[in-house]
Amino acid sequence: MSRYTFETLSNKEAIQVNQAWAGFAGDRVTVNGTTQIWAKPTKGSPNMPTEVAVVLFNPDNSITQEVVVIFSQLKFPDQGSYMVYDIWLHKEVGTFQSSYKVTLSPHESAFVKVYPIT
């Protein structure tokens, strides 16, 4: 097993997302061309989340693409600002207003948690 594979499979934060909200799987929020966004509430309720785990995915074989998640698609109540935390990097990415955009290489994904700042 490569180091990268081991780090991915043993990422404690990713495992916590998997185990949060037993019985609720992630849902595909949107498909835009070939990019996909999947989301799963990890705190709050499915209809009124206070934290959402989001996978932004570029399944294309050859094209680097920007993938954008719009926070209103995540069923958040209207808020001013949102914190984005990168699960793969184990750090906060920053504060964003209405969306989060990332550039992904072919077959690359971003795995983040999003929550409103109150």
- Residue 112 DSSP one-character state: E
Residue 76 has pLDDT above 60, yes or no: yes
Q: What is the mean pLDDT of residues 27-37?
A: 89
Going by pLDDT thresholds of 50, 70 and 90, the confidence category of residue 2 is: low
pTM, entire model: 0.85
Structurally, how many domains does the chain consist of?
Answer: 1
Range of the domain at 65: 3-116
Model confidence at 5: pLDDT above 70: no
* 93 and 78 Cβ atoms separated by less than 8 Å: no
Q: Which residues pair with 78 in a beta bridge?
A: none
The predicted pLDDT at position 43 comes to: 82
Whether residue 60 is predicted with pLDDT greater than 70 in this model: the reply is: yes
Q: What is the mean pLDDT of residues 44-59?
A: 87
CA distances to 30, 47, 80, 88, 116 from 109, in Å: 15, 25, 26, 10, 22
CATH of the domain at 68: 2.60.40.1180
Q: Among residues 33, 102, 41, which one has the least CA distance to residue 69?
A: 102
- Partners of 102 in the beta sheet? 67
